[in-house]
Each structure stands twice: as C-alpha cells, then as structure tokens.
Structure 1
Amino acid sequence: MTTSTAERTAPAARRAGGALAAVGGQNLSLIAALAVVLALFGSLNDNYLSWTNVQVIAEAVTITGLLAVVQTVVIICGGLDISVGSQAGLASVVSAMAFTSAGSSPLVGMAAAIGVGVVVGVLNGAVIVYGRVNATIATLAGLAAYKGVAQLISNGAAQGYVLNDAVFVFLSRGKIAGLPVMVWILIVAAAAVHVLLKYTDIGRNIYAIGGNPTAARLAGINLNKYLISAYVLAAVVAAVAGILLTARTGSGQPVSGSEGLELKSITAAALGGCALKGGKGGIGGTLLAVALLGALENGLTVQGINSFWQNVAQGSLLVVAVVIQQRRSGERAVGLPG
C-alpha cells in the first residue's frame, strides 16, 4: 500500500502549524518588525549589529523590561500602573540615601528601596480596591506624588555616590557568562513571572480576574487580594529597577533616568499583546516588544537622529497597538456608526 504525498506531508504541516500557534500571530508580527529594524539600521551602520552594541541595547532596555514585565501582570489583572517610573525614581533616591547614611552598606540601601516598594504597592492597591478609585486615576496621582516625594527628600538633586562599592559596581558593570548582570536580572525576573502566569493556579486566577471579574468572584477568587498583590509586585520590581538605576548612574536619581518609563512599559505591554481591558497577554510578547523598542531607540541614536523622535515613535507604536487590539476584538470604534 503506497502513501500519498499529501499524507506524508500532513504530519509536517501539522507540526509547523502547531509551532506557529505556539509562537502566536502577535509575536510573529513583532519578530518580523524587529528583523526589519535590525536589517535597516544594520545596513546603515556596520557597528549596529556588533556583539558590543547588542549588549548595549540589552543593558539599556533592562530597566524598561523589568517594568514592562510587571506592567503586563497588572494589565492582565484588569488594572494599569502609570506610576512605575516615579516609583523607580523614588526607590533610586532612597537606596542611595540609605546606602550613605548606613555607612556605605549596599544591603541596607537595597532593603530600604524594597521596603519603599512594598509600602507604595500596598498604597496603590488599597486606594484602588478600598477607595474604589479608577486604576488610571489612582496611579496617575501616584505618578505625581511619588515623583514629588523623591524630589522633596533629595531637594531635586542626585544623592549619594555608590560607584565606590563593589556590589553596586558589579550590578552596573559585572558580567556572567558574557552577559551583563543587569540583563540576567531581567531574564530571571521575566522567567519567574512567565512561570507564575502560565503554570500556576495564581496565574490562571489572574487571567480569570482580568477576563471576567464577576465570574472570577463567583468562582471564589478573592479579587481584592489579587489586585493588591499585583500592585505590590509591580512596586517591588520597580524598586529593583530603581536600585539598578542607582547602580547604573552612580547615584540616586529622583527624576533623571526614570521619567517616561511608565509610557515605555505600557507601550511594550500593549505591543506585546496585552489587552488593555485585561485577561490577555504574556511575557514573551512583552519582551519582544521591549527588544523592538530598544533596537529602534538605539538605531535612531546611532544614526544621530533627534532624540525627540524616539518619543514620537513610542507614542505612535502605542496608538498602533491599541488600534490593532480594537480591530481584532471587533468592538465598535467610539463615535462611528455600528
């Protein structure tokens, strides 16, 4: 009995289709866009695709990547945290000031920053859950308030000097297996959150809350606990980002280095496939979007293009991501006839 060509190729086609389904259409689009950006700037500058510049890009997106990873969790849960950039700035100042006041103890500085992250996360979550304030408004208020606190305690100036400390120097300049330590921190954090979302009951509950909070509540899920925990997670990771910002710049920065990070994190999460209404998204897509933003930003810088165009590009990409989401969901656009 002979086997037809169609029968022989069917298993291979199914495997290919399964692989494509596993990657996802959204991620394939991001991979294609990233390839185009790399090819474009690589053709314009011979050093753009060098291993040295690739490491520069990877290190530059670490802080944004950390914030985008936890922003993904918050958005999947049906929330939004516009204050993560200010949280990172506040944690940066606190880590440097505590480091200096504790006789140059890096662990004290880092612990103080993490402690501030926990407090800020609980505060954000409590205002949203118990104050019944819209997440966008609550964290927009936090954006201003935490930035103000950072400026007040630092008098609006950089605080401390940490580059005489071996731990901070290792964080900013050290390498493990050829990769910067900061990149490894992002990899570990992203992998941990990915496992949490995809392979645990906690992750399944987070998707359920964002997808249909009423059904999740009827199923016995404690929405308040999960929402507050999501904001605490976001704030703690923002504090880690603040510590890395301190290590990278050599001092606590109340604003410089952290301003605009909230937009980048939201843009990356939206580009990565997070539905801004909640219930959909993943870490893989977010990381691809972070890489795309980093490659684009670095390419514009290498080509000497005005840095203001980077903001234009980020805003445009966010709009494009939301438009694509609306089209895919089939929802009627505001103001247009059905």
Structure 2
Amino acid sequence: MGPLGSRLRRWLPVAAQYGAVLGTGTRGDRIRGSTRVLSSRRRLRFSEGGFVGSAQSPTVHLTKSSQARAPLICQRMSGGLGNQLFQASAAMSLSRRLGGQLSFDLTRYERDKKRRFELACFPTGASEWIPNAAARPRPAELLKAIRHRRKLRWGWSGSVYRQPDFGYDPAFETLDGDVYLDGLFQSELYFLREENYVRQVFDLEPFASARVRDLAASWAGQDLASVHIRRGDYAENPKVLAVMGLLDDSYYERSINVLRQISPSLRLKIFSDDRDAAIRTCELHPGAEPVVGDTAIDDMYLMSKCRHHIIANSTFSWWGAWLGLPHGLTIAPRLHFSREKLRSVFIHDHYPKGWLLI
C-alpha cells in the first residue's frame, strides 16, 4: 500500500465523525443518493402520485426523470424533538413554496446515542435521504475534507444552504431547485407562511397516550399555566452549560408573579427533567403540581393544553407554547443563552411577536 493509501486507512475511523459514508458501486447509477419514506415501518414505494404504502422495495432510487418532476428539499436533522420540529417546519415550508419533494437526512442519529428521530409518526410527507455510497470521493478528496473539517454528502448534486447564524436569514426565501438544508432554523419566520399547515401536521393529540389524553380532558375549563424547568444536560455537561446557561429561580418567580396578576386563580403545572427542581417549585407555590408523561410527545401535548406558559431556554417548551391554546400569555427568558454566548448571538427572531420576555 502506497503512502496515500496508508494515510487514508489511518483517517477512515475519523471520517465517520464528519458524515462520511463509504461504499461500493458504480458512479452514475443514481444522481442524488436515494430516499425511503419515513414511517414507523419505513416500507414504501414511489408511484406517479407520490409515496404509497408497500411491503416491498423500502428504498427509492432517484433518477433524472424524477429530478425533472420536482425539486428535492433535504433537511439535515439533529437534536431532540424541539429542534427537529424547527428543522422540519422550515423544510416543509420551502418544499411547499417550490412544489418539491421533501426528505430528511438522519445520518446524525447513527452516532447520537442520546437522541433519536421522533417525527416519523407525523404526516410530513417526507422520505429519508440516504447518501449515495456509489458517488464516494477519491482518497485525496476525502483527506482534504477531513483536514478542513468539511462534511461530505455523497451524491448530492444540488445546492447546499447552511444557515449563516442563529437569527432569521431572508435569503432563505430566495432558495430554488434542489437544496440541502443545514441549520437550526429556530424562528417561526422560516415557516410563518405555512403556519396553519405546520399546526395541522404537528397536531400532537393523535400521538399522545390514552392516559395523557384523559388527563388533558380533565383539565378542560381550568386556568392553567405550564412551567418548564430545564436542567438535565445543561447542568451536567460543562460545554453545554457554557453555551446555554441555567435560568435562576428569580426568572420563574417574576414570571409567576406576572401571571398571578392576570389570573389570581391560576394553577401551575410543572414540567422538568430535574425532579428536585420540580418539587422545590411546587413547595414554593401551593397548588402547583408536577406533570410527567410517558413520552416527549406526551409532555409537549400536556404543555399545549395549558392556556399560559412560562418556558425555559429550550426549544421543547417553545413548541409546547406555540402549539398551545390561543389567547394566553407566553413568558420567555431574555437569557436564552449564557451571557457570554449572547454577546455574539441575536435571539429576538427566536420568539414570536406577543411573547413577553423577562
């Protein structure tokens, strides 16, 4: 084996960290990778009318004829349920504007041991985009990508849009043709034009457990506020803590006092990944009670059934509030990130108009 081959062999384990997918095959047998429809079974085929159920052919190979049919919008998915909802909503909005097909790149979840893709149950109409192993790069190209920490997406022949910063980018509205989306898209401005459609697709009730639906029904007519206390990986991981920070008790005290002025009979429902924090909040506010669902969708569904919301610096409770009942007040933290991180990040696009920042 020559020097280049030896170097490549040494770098191969590292390549997986940057999205590299190696395989065999002949170049040209598919032009943009392949897709398979996202569902709990992932067993679908492509017909003239779109993707339909089938017990055969779980993988779809796109050809030049399918490229002419409609542009393909592919979103690189990452993070938990809240992050996924932002990414999928932006991609859905773009796909509908262009009249294109929608697909999700799930390769990050092959390496993420803590997160999983959670949107397969929703009727997004998306397929899974599978990198084209046949279009693997030459060894020298792979080594160059690794040195410069570039992520390679084998077989993608369209454009790649990387969100330039955390805020809303108006250039998103000018995208056209086949587009691979790489970003967080954590602003409703990316999908506001399709707000009603997004709410319809991500209706949580059909996918909540029967126990939780019964619990939500018992809340009907009550003046409730969800309070989300996010700790978990924020507190346990120093790198995450340096970026996100932790909201202190004063944020919650001030927010609850504001809501009490609006509704003296308000009852608090406490959602938290920190049991001790939830218990402490309940002790400070008589009548408050912790709420725990069986799944992330359960928790978000119960949040959405409260009229008012005190959200954390978390995309999870952002969506619990956004998908919630109308005519309530949502209070959000000005310190969405740590003070150090906020010096370089513009966050006001993150919150919808009408939300109160404290």
Pick the structure with greater CA Rg: 2
- Greater percentage in strand: 2
Greater RCO, 1 or 2 (C-alpha within 8 Å, sep 6+): 1
* TM-score > 0.5 by shorter chain: no
TM-score normalised according to structure 2 size = 0.25
- Greater percentage in helix: 1
